[in-house]
Amino acid sequence: MQQLTPRGLQAWLEDRGRPAPLLLDVREPWEYDIAHLQGSTLVPLSRIPAWLAEADPQQEIVVICHHGVRSHHAGLFLEHHGFSRVTNLVGGIDAWSREVDPHLPLY
């Protein structure tokens, strides 16, 4: 699984020549309500197995959580189930808030 820093994700999202990835947020709804990346899709970690049926294993996916641990586990699970284009956001939404968007609340 690839690892991507918040600045690396920011560059990817700003690159008009590269298709945007699916931003898969695996936190709980209450966490997502506090802070999330615009355009991200919320699928709590416990619901990932059910979500597989509707997901495209060829799509670029960046998995996001609070600090990068749950997203790492989700990414490993996705790879185990045939998803080959999975990237983990290192440091999660917390690092994004600190390094890219200071207006996004910390919790």
Angle between helices 6-14 and 92-99 (to 10 degrees): 70
List of E strands, the chain: 2-4, 22-25, 41-42, 61-64, 86-89
Return the active site residues: 65
